[in-house]
Structure 1
Amino acid sequence: MIKTSKHDKQNYLHFQLDSGLRILVVETPNSNRFAAAVAIKAGHFNDPQDCPGLTHLLEHMLFQGTEVFPSQTHDFMHVVNNCGGRANAWTSQEYMNFYYDVNAQFAEPSLQHFSRFFVCPEFSQEKIEQEVAAIESEFKLKQRDEIRRLNEVHKETCNSEHPFSQFSVGNAETLVDNSFYTIRQRLMEHFEHYFTADNMTLVVSAPFACEESKNLIETYFEDIAVSKSLKSAPLPPLFVAENLAVQIDVRPLKNIKRAIYTFILPSEEPDYSAKSITYLSCLIGHECDGSLYCLLKDAGLANGLTAGCGLDDGESLEFNISVQLTDYGSQNLDKLSERLFAYINTIREIDFAPHIYNEKKKLAEIAFLHMEPAKPIEWVSQLSLKMHQYPIEEVIHGDYQMSGVNRDWLKQALAALTPESLRLVVLTPESKFDHISHYYQTPYRISRLDREDMQKWASARLATPLKLPEPNPYIPDRVEALDSCHADNEPQKLIEENGVTVWFKQDQKFRLPHGHIYVSLDLPNSQGTARKHAMTRLFIEIMMDDVISENYPAEAAGLCYNISPHQGGLTLHFNGYSQKQAAFVSRVLSQLRLRRFTEQNFNQIKQKLLASWRNHQHIKPANALFSQLSCMLQNNQFASDILAQHLSDVEFGEYAEFVVHLFDRVNLEAMIFGDWDMAQAIQIAEDIRKSLYTRSKSAGEVARKVFALQEQEYSYHLTTSHSDVAVINYFQADEVNEYKTALYMLLNQILSPIAFHDLRKEKQLGYMVGSAYFPINLCPGLIIYIQSDNKNIWDIQDNIDDLLEKLPSYFEQLDEEKWSNIQQGLIHQLNEQDTSLRACAQRYWMSIGLKDKNFRRRDKICGWITDIGLEEMIEQAQLIFAKKEYGYKRLVLTSNQDQAINQQLDVVNSFEITRHFQNQCGLVNL
């Protein structure tokens, strides 16, 4: 019997085919989705040594046609799109995972198509060459990814006999034919070796009876290759003696200052149910007063710390303490290391504190008791993987099971937290190096730790008694939801008066002891200039840093909060267990006005924020253009480089004066949603109002503006530090209403697979290619985007123009049946049932933000989607994409690193582009 949570109303059936294939069927009666996933116990670790990336290529190739459904006539992604669904796959170190979903009426034909992936893949030479090119583009796209660059250094400095040391992604250099094999032969052998029934699991989720799903599975998966009883050889050690007691200095591309202390502990995999690592992570990673984090922060050495496990290969486990360094900390690493080991050496000598583990265990039990269901496509993907990791009875419960600390493991783990088993990775822009990694070109240096330093660290002890976390007052006592007594279908207004609106809805659907509270503050004194906006962002960072230790117990007990900037001020979002959330909300709102910061704290957080903004120059070019587009189309939006420029010369006195007046005038809109009754909600609303208006005056909303494209073509160019080229074409609706929203959504449903197939698969312009519905506030829009490593901006734009000119011929291929499927697929997406309290809360809050006060906008959009006929769609598309005498009515943004090309273009900075564009535009009538 599979152990499930009390709110899981789904039925489960586990069985096994004669071939050995293990299967789990999930019956989801309230869904209209059919989803399936297959997990294979083979990943990057199983790549041949002389062909790294082969498993990744195999993942790609299974989507590229089968003997029954050849690629030339039956594209699986296109089929799934036409059935209102989506599909994807991933490859990790030890597993591959393939998954998809469709509207339930397409269950049988889609499952038949999917099943052939694992029986008779086509492996056409043309598609192999195409997907090798796609993997090469993916590799180049991620060459500047700091995690991948650091990971490669990790690979090059571990035991070369361990499969982790291999390059896992693959590229055009590794995926080539050699004198012994063709890539096609290698793919076929790899597939035949690992794609066997005993090495695979299948999970299907459907709205019909389990037996019906079982019959489908038996029909289409009975011919999976019979088990070969694969036996994996024991892995060699991940690290040998020469890989330990070392310091690895790494030079990142970004302005990152971080020290990562990695210790090699015994694997916890044999005793997964204990989760003893949770206790150790809390001892070292908690942020209460007296913690390691506070010890380092108070000394001015660090402004962030996390602790937890990394790779566990079944033999050993990496335990990482990652410290975000201040400038002082990066210059005094020895002081930091001595304090860190003083803390570790002291906790090794203290008695076991059972309340720390028991609190985590209780929270895990509550979390499992009230698990929120995932979307079917996500659920089947997760379960297919868990079937490899846990006994079938624990396939859902396994992640939450905490059977008690394994004291023997904990003793061994604490004993291993020594300089002798340490790998210290130091990332700073100033790092010295004498190696450059092979694939990602990461500069690094590896050296032995100094013996005298190691002896000093080994004997270090804290000067004051160690303070462990106290029993957590925020652990909930009530773990059941309240009786539902307020049955409004949509949120209702509790307060509506000058400058204050508060909404409330008691949850009746999910029946969880959870809640979400959103508090949006429009702050007129934060508006008007980039400098004010920058200081508002700094205020958020300083405030969050100031209250970390105070609020850590609440966060550890599942009361999460976040403060984020928006166009008119800032938003606070609280979520977690409802019983003690109201008191926590009042606490945080009162903390907003305390302004307990010093000049030292101001300078440290300011430099941290400046570094973060300046690092934006290293983001992907396409993402930089998305950000630039948002700044151009809205008021009160500023690019990161502009914010950094203004904040850089802000002094402490100016900032302190700004903060004094930041909350002088406030416009408040809030929503209380979840496990509260009306009386409780009224009290929470009043507490929120009192917390904010004791010393503030009410104000009107800050105006949100969207700039309207005129009858012309706009073109702007940005420089970038990235070698890739990026191009975005943006098309904007000429009216703001539900009809135009439906029209642009439908247009993207048609355009998205066409753009992907034409621009990425056929012309191979890059890995990051496609189209997207791109609304700004209420204004509908659509973008076509390409980031390329092999084309210049003119070639890319010519290909986009060519696609636009060919669109009428694509539309002519649509018939009424295909059109109906597109309409119904989009309607199903929009009407997809909320699978979690969080998703429901986000939907209501987004509606409030869009001024959908009756919560009927989605229904109206779906009504228009149904009503728009194919001929009308074609006619409107021709108007939107019509080429006029001046060109297209669109905004074109491009970026390039090549100085020769930049000299040919009118290159100005982000602020000048935004100002020039907005001066030429009108305003959208919202």
Structure 2
Amino acid sequence: MIHTPPGDRRRCRSLTLPNGLRVLLLRDPDADQAGAAMSVGAGSGDEPPDRAGLAHLLEHMLFLGTDRYPAPEDFPAYVQGHGGRYNATTELHQTCYFFEVPPAHLGGALDRFAQFFIAPRLTESAIAQEREVIDAEYRARRGDDEQRILGVIKQVLDPAHPASRFLAGNRDTLGEAPEALRRALMAFRQRHYTAANLRLAVVGNEPLDTLERQVRRCFADIPPGTMPAPAAHPPLLPPGSLPLGLALQPTHRRHELRLCFPVPALRPDDYLQPWAYLGELLAFRGPGSLYGQLMDRGWLTGIDGSVLLDTRPQALFQIRLRLTPDGMGHTAAITAAVFACLRRIGTDGIAAWRHRERQVLADQRFRLAATTSTLEFVKSLADQLHRYPVAEALRGPYRLDAFQPRVIRDCLAHLTPDNLLTLTVDPAVRGDRTSPWFPAPYRVAAAPDPGATRWDGAPDFTLPPPNPFLVTIPHAEPGGPSAAVPRLLHDSGQSRVWHQPLARAPGGRTGIHLNLVAACPTHTLGATVLTALLIAWLERELAAEWQQARAAGMEVTPSRHHQGITLRASGLPEQLDRLLQRLSSCLSRTRITAERFDQARQGLQACWEAQQHDLAFRRLLRLPEARLGHGFDDEERLAELATVSLERLQVFRDELLHGVGIDCLVAGPLDGARARRLVAGLEARLLAGEASAVERRRPPIVSLQAGQAYHYRLEASHPDSAVALYLPGPDGSPLQEARYRLLAALLHDAFFHRLRIEQQLGYVVLARYLPLHDCPGLILLVQSPSLSVDELQRRIRHFLTAPDAPLPRLDPERFAHYRDGLLHALQAQQRQPAQQMEQFWASLAAGDADFQRPRQLLQAVTDLTLEELQRFYQAQLLPSPWVWLHT
């Protein structure tokens, strides 16, 4: 029997095909998307040592044509054209391929997907092309500090362990003749891509018998093979090599201390999750905790404990401390504090009540697991078939057995000074050697002796108290009738509350979207930075409570909007009551201390500095908002942040709260009176004095002239060239949104195929729908390691305007294929409570208080014709303003 959550309407079946392929089928009658994932029990750690990147290259190659479907664009076009998604990942010992499509097209997608594992073409020309893509991907990540940190750690691992190798691959490691590389790919595939070493998960809304017939028909011809015996690996670090210290210089401004410990490999069948237990105790953010004491000294901005390398026979557990520049001068004291906290955990932290609390939380997460997207859910399901018995395929990651303190104490016994690998990340480091592949200056030194420096703070670190947000999730019994759209419960001009009752909601949870609408101007650079800083201060002040709320399954996300602060939260009504009470009390009554101000500013500075060094294509995707939406880029915000004082933030808070308005949308299985009470406490604390109407202003957008080209340059440290063309819509009508959404879907596959596969311009090639506030927009983006900005602009321009441009030559059948896919995706979004709530919230922001926008959008897409879209493309899109964003 396969264990499923109580009350789950889904039905499961496991089977093994005659060729040995193990399969898990899951029927979800409510699924808006169907999907499948194939997990291979082999990855980068299983490739020959002299073939770095071979597993990664094979992952790419399977998407580029099969004997039955030879066109490289066939599978992407089929899936994305029907409104679906696909992806793949290569890890150390697993590779996973996965997709989702509308249920009606699952059979066609499975037929194409199965051929990946039956008869991939692996042509030499495609191998040569994809080798360059692998190289471009490697070069795009070469300056990434996470890769560089891991690369330095690899230098001290046992070279006989596969985790010590360079795994991503590049042109050099894959640089032999295509015919020789093809032979290596074939040999790797024949050894590892056999039915015995594959695990398939399929999710759909058809009966299980139907799903089984589809699977048996599509996957029966995978070669049977045998399960390769697990290779014997040595310990991660050679005996006698610890304790040891490493120090490296990051590419960007970054200060960290990582305390790493080789520990016994994780055993998922233990069902105790001891490392997660210890990580949660170490990372607690309450007053007097390790986090709190180091934060109060101005040394720390963040802490977490997790498994960095999950391999065999050992894993690597790390305690990661993100430090301030001042904290880098106190690493010995910080290390002593960590070991003092570990001793405190050994004395008072291992308790049966904590384990029971974690069991309740794990059970609740299990019950909510079915609410994740099909794409991620089906991927995790296939991967779990390698890790757990089939009966535990769904429950395995969430199962916690009876409390066994000995197991946790045994794990704690490995976190000792003599088993320590210390890694210091500091721009001031001067290395005497350089790591290969992801080059970083580093040096090796003896690990600091924690006994030489005593922790002079309070030794009785505060450990997490019972979680106040832990409440019993009710069984998913239907509530009252659902409403198709929210209705207005209350409107005083200063406060407006909408409510949408739902008969069924995931886990019985209620969602709330809340805007604090400032009467004072908030769109200037100074107000933008001050609003972000006020949110950062709130997060520091409420760090412990919000941490426990999230641990209890709540979602809590504060953010800035153009006229104030937005809070998105979800949970049970009792949880939301507590959350909103603490938020309003803190915002209106808590004094901003100098210590909290400094912590918030340092944390915000570190966040914005990290964004400065994000990959170029991600920064370009943010640039339309910064340059056209009256936002500001990272450099401008950092410069302004440096001028902000405590007094200025205090004055700004008072101005923001004076005459503030509240807009709130509540959706969930609760009645109007309960929804109204949720917001009443917030109003009582924040709406002081006589009520007066607050003006809700639309976000400003820069006016652009049709037929003109605009250029905005991004200062980027990465050597790649990156270019994006942004085409803003003329207005925010449903018709324009329908046009731009469909154009993005139609152009993406052709753009990717022509510039990424045929022309080999780079790893990142995309066309995407990108609205600016409530106006639609289309962005086409390429990041290339080889071509100049001017040449990339020429290629993008040619793609859109040449005689063989894809849209003017599109045939009606393909148009209908993509239009139906977009319609299905939009309809599916409107049936998912969380996504539906986002759409209603966007409707309010656009002034649509009747919530007709989603229905109007569906109708506009339905009414679109190929001829009308082609006329729009020639007469309006191409002559629209062309906004060039580039490095």
- Is the TM value for this pair above 0.5? yes
The alpha carbon displacement at 1:165 in A equals 0.8
- Residue 205 (structure 1) aligns with: 203
Residues 307 and 697 (structure 1 numbering): CA distance in 2 closer, same or farther, change over 3 Å?
farther
Residues 501 and 631 (structure 1 numbering): CA distance in 2 closer, same or farther, change over 3 Å?
same
Residues 49 and 716 (structure 1 numbering): CA distance in 2 closer, same or farther, change over 3 Å?
same
Which has the higher mean CA deviation after the structures are superposed, 471-480 or 492-501? 471-480
Residues 837 and 267 (structure 1 numbering): CA distance in 2 closer, same or farther, change over 3 Å?
farther
CA contact (8 A) 2:476 2:504 kept: no
Note the residue ranges of structure 2 that are not aligned, 5 or more in a row.
none
Residues 654 and 109 (structure 1 numbering): CA distance in 2 closer, same or farther, change over 3 Å?
closer
CA contact (8 A) 1:504 1:673 kept: yes
C-alpha distance in 1, partners of 2:609/2:32? 46
- Deviating beyond 6 angstroms after TM superposition, the runs of 4 or more aligned structure 1 residues are 459-462
> What amino acid is aligned across from residue 649 of structure 1 in structure 2?
T
> What amino acid is aligned across from residue 894 of structure 1 in structure 2?
H
- Residue 814 (structure 2) aligns with: 818
C-alpha distance in 1, partners of 2:477/2:813? 48
The alpha carbon displacement at 1:386 in A equals 1.0
Count of aligned pairs between the two proteins: 885
Alignment partner for residue 732 of structure 2, among 709, 729, 736? 736
Query: How do residues 638-677 of structure 1 correspond to structure 2 at under 5 angstroms?
Result: 638-677=632-671
| TM-score, normalised relative to structure 2 | 0.95
- Residue 794 (structure 1) aligns with: 790
Residues 349 and 169 (structure 1 numbering): CA distance in 2 closer, same or farther, change over 3 Å?
same
C-alpha distance in 2, partners of 1:894/1:370? 42
> What amino acid is aligned across from residue 19 of structure 2 in structure 1?
S
Say yes or no: does 1:480 pair with 2:475: yes
C-alpha distance in 2, partners of 1:379/1:615? 30
CA contact (8 A) 1:40 1:201 kept: yes
- Residue 748 (structure 1) aligns with: 744
Alignment partner for residue 260 of structure 1, among 258, 264, 273? 258
CA contact (8 A) 1:136 1:171 kept: yes
CA contact (8 A) 2:53 2:167 kept: yes
SS at structure 2 position matched to 1:368: helix
Say yes or no: does 1:541 pair with 2:570: no
- Residue 320 (structure 1) aligns with: 318
C-alpha distance in 2, partners of 1:613/1:229? 48
Residues 696 and 467 (structure 1 numbering): CA distance in 2 closer, same or farther, change over 3 Å?
farther
CA contact (8 A) 1:266 1:412 kept: no
C-alpha distance in 1, partners of 2:549/2:104? 46
C-alpha distance in 2, partners of 1:551/1:781? 35
Alignment partner for residue 509 of structure 1, among 504, 511, 524? 504
Residues 355 and 717 (structure 1 numbering): CA distance in 2 closer, same or farther, change over 3 Å?
same
C-alpha distance in 1, partners of 2:461/2:604? 32
SS at structure 1 position matched to 2:589: coil
Query: How do residues 696-775 of structure 1 correspond to structure 2 at under 5 angstroms?
Result: 698=692, 699-711=694-706, 712-775=708-771
The alpha carbon displacement at 1:464 in A equals 4.7
Query: How do residues 407-806 of structure 1 correspond to structure 2 at under 5 angstroms?
Result: 407-450=405-448, 453-456=449-452, 463-477=458-472, 479-480=474-475, 484-485=479-480, 487-510=482-505, 512-525=507-520, 527=522, 529-635=524-630, 637-694=631-688, 698=692, 699-711=694-706, 712-806=708-802
C-alpha distance in 2, partners of 1:511/1:771? 33
- Residue 885 (structure 2) aligns with: 893
CA contact (8 A) 2:259 2:422 kept: yes
Residues 833 and 716 (structure 1 numbering): CA distance in 2 closer, same or farther, change over 3 Å?
closer
Task: Output the aligned Cα RMSD.
Answer: 2.4
The alpha carbon displacement at 1:188 in A equals 0.3
Say yes or no: does 1:282 pair with 2:276: no
C-alpha distance in 2, partners of 1:604/1:215? 59
CA contact (8 A) 2:7 2:476 kept: no
CA contact (8 A) 1:568 1:702 kept: yes
- Residue 851 (structure 1) aligns with: 847
**Residues 576-608 of structure 1: CA distance to partner in whole angstroms, max 9, x if unpaired?**
233332122112111012343322432343233
Query: How do residues 373-384 of structure 1 correspond to structure 2 at under 5 angstroms?
Result: 373-384=371-382
CA contact (8 A) 2:290 2:461 kept: no
SS at structure 2 position matched to 1:509: coil
Alignment partner for residue 244 of structure 2, among 246, 249, 260? 246
Residues 881 and 552 (structure 1 numbering): CA distance in 2 closer, same or farther, change over 3 Å?
closer
| TM-score, normalised relative to structure 1 | 0.91
SS at structure 2 position matched to 1:183: helix
Residues 229 and 779 (structure 1 numbering): CA distance in 2 closer, same or farther, change over 3 Å?
closer
Residues 602 and 846 (structure 1 numbering): CA distance in 2 closer, same or farther, change over 3 Å?
same
- The sequence identity of aligned pairs, in percent, is 28
The alpha carbon displacement at 1:55 in A equals 0.1
The alpha carbon displacement at 1:723 in A equals 0.9
**Residues 349-392 of structure 1: CA distance to partner in whole angstroms, max 9, x if unpaired?**
44732111111111112232344433333332221111111111
SS at structure 1 position matched to 2:226: coil
C-alpha distance in 1, partners of 2:130/2:384? 29
> What amino acid is aligned across from residue 289 of structure 2 in structure 1?
S
The alpha carbon displacement at 1:43 in A equals 0.7
CA contact (8 A) 2:35 2:204 kept: yes
The alpha carbon displacement at 1:259 in A equals 1.0
Query: How do residues 10-409 of structure 1 correspond to structure 2 at under 5 angstroms?
Result: 10-31=10-31, 33-71=33-71, 75-177=74-176, 182-241=180-239, 243-269=241-267, 271-350=269-348, 352-409=350-407
C-alpha distance in 1, partners of 2:407/2:350? 13
Residues 354 and 837 (structure 1 numbering): CA distance in 2 closer, same or farther, change over 3 Å?
farther
C-alpha distance in 2, partners of 1:630/1:495? 32
CA contact (8 A) 1:309 1:317 kept: yes
The alpha carbon displacement at 1:288 in A equals 2.5
Residues 675 and 317 (structure 1 numbering): CA distance in 2 closer, same or farther, change over 3 Å?
farther
Alignment partner for residue 827 of structure 2, among 793, 817, 831? 831
Residues 519 and 126 (structure 1 numbering): CA distance in 2 closer, same or farther, change over 3 Å?
same
**Residues 157-190 of structure 1: CA distance to partner in whole angstroms, max 9, x if unpaired?**
21111101111111101112279x8101000000
Note the residue ranges of structure 1 that are not aligned, 5 or more in a row.
896-926
The alpha carbon displacement at 1:674 in A equals 2.0
The alpha carbon displacement at 1:528 in A equals 5.1
Residues 397 and 139 (structure 1 numbering): CA distance in 2 closer, same or farther, change over 3 Å?
same
C-alpha distance in 2, partners of 1:878/1:828? 27
SS at structure 2 position matched to 1:708: coil
CA contact (8 A) 1:88 1:99 kept: yes
CA contact (8 A) 1:300 1:326 kept: yes
**Residues 415-463 of structure 1: CA distance to partner in whole angstroms, max 9, x if unpaired?**
221111111111121122112121111122121124xx24336x86975
Residues 747 and 669 (structure 1 numbering): CA distance in 2 closer, same or farther, change over 3 Å?
same
SS at structure 1 position matched to 2:883: strand
SS at structure 2 position matched to 1:525: coil
Residues 807 and 89 (structure 1 numbering): CA distance in 2 closer, same or farther, change over 3 Å?
farther
> What amino acid is aligned across from residue 151 of structure 2 in structure 1?
E
CA contact (8 A) 1:7 1:370 kept: no
CA contact (8 A) 1:543 1:595 kept: no
**Residues 748-787 of structure 1: CA distance to partner in whole angstroms, max 9, x if unpaired?**
2221111111111111111111211121122122111111
SS at structure 1 position matched to 2:221: coil
SS at structure 2 position matched to 1:150: helix
**Residues 65-88 of structure 1: CA distance to partner in whole angstroms, max 9, x if unpaired?**
12232236x632123333443322
The alpha carbon displacement at 1:410 in A equals 1.8
CA contact (8 A) 1:808 1:878 kept: no
C-alpha distance in 2, partners of 1:138/1:211? 42
The alpha carbon displacement at 1:573 in A equals 2.1
